[in-house]
Amino acid sequence: MLDTTWTAEAAEIGVRLDKFLAAPERLGSRSRAVTALERGRIYVNEIETTLADASLRLTAGVVIGIWMDKPGTARTPRRAVNAGALRIVHEDDAFIVLDKPAGLLSVPLDQRDAAPSAFEHVEDHLRSHGKKRPLIVHRIDQDTSGLVVFAKDARAQDDLKGQFRRREPERIYWAVVYGHPDPGAGVWRDRLAWDHRAQIQKATHPRDPNGADASSGYEVLESFAESSLIEVRLHTGKRNQIRIQARLRGCPLVGERRYTFDSIDRPEIVFARHALHAYRLAFRHPFDGRALRFEAPLPSDFADLLNVLRLSSLRARPRRER
């Protein structure tokens, strides 16, 4: 039944299941590990696991197995979706703005990856209207919800990508982080380098030639007992930038599975993904230069998280003496 099994060694005690699976010598990436867990292909000591078990900490001698061809776990062929399902915020002859749901890739990772993407859905939508394929302008992480833009022709793409390259668009994100950033507003500045083997962003030396400067403005919008809702304004747009910069300040995102401190003993706030939402996007129209601004309301899971945190904070407050 199982195609491959691995036995956790002493050095892997305490490692999360999803991190163990994502290692280069196993599945090779977190996205593949998540997909395998979502589809019930992973077994721990011969017991089937799900995505809810991603944070399981390994113990020495535990046996992890994978059944790649498990019946019923193949991805259903992608079907065309309508404009309503795409959550189109704006569409004209030059570009299309989507409110991307969390869990959907912005663009396909590679030809071997079967995970669906917003690009493919936009492609279906445009094809149904007799139009050409969309062109990539920028992207957001798979588990990040919110605004993403695709161009409809090369001229619009060149102009929009130029604006992003010059850091002209206003890019506002909302995030829920552990702790309380101090001070309550400011600028995060770091030198980051992408680790191609580990597929993560890392802080590096200010003079590292392989590094790039990353800058974000932030402000605490609301504080809870053990966490905060913050607004982040991207000055640069490095991959995973907000996620790594928050972690470097000791305030990783709630739900974060990659940029976190496993050694910190703190109450876990349960959330199925990293709590990050691309809330506002403003740029110039690529054809006539008009100033445009778009906003995406918080998705239901993010709004529900905030309500839970508010209620928990109220319960945690000491009662006034009578």
Catalytic residue among 18, 99, 141, 190: 141
- Pairwise CA distance, residues 68 & 66, whole Å: 6
In order of 16, 18, 31, 109, 111, the CA distances from 23 in angstroms are 11, 9, 11, 18, 21
Q: Is the dihedral of CA 154, 140, 85, 298 positive or negative?
A: negative
Per-residue tokens: 140: 């957001």
- Pairwise CA distance, residues 29 & 38, whole Å: 14
Catalytic residue flag (residue 213): no
Amino acid at 64: I
- Pairwise CA distance, residues 149 & 134, whole Å: 10
Longest dimension (CA), the chain: 71
Strands 145-151 and 276-284: parallel
**Residues labelled as active-site residues:** 141
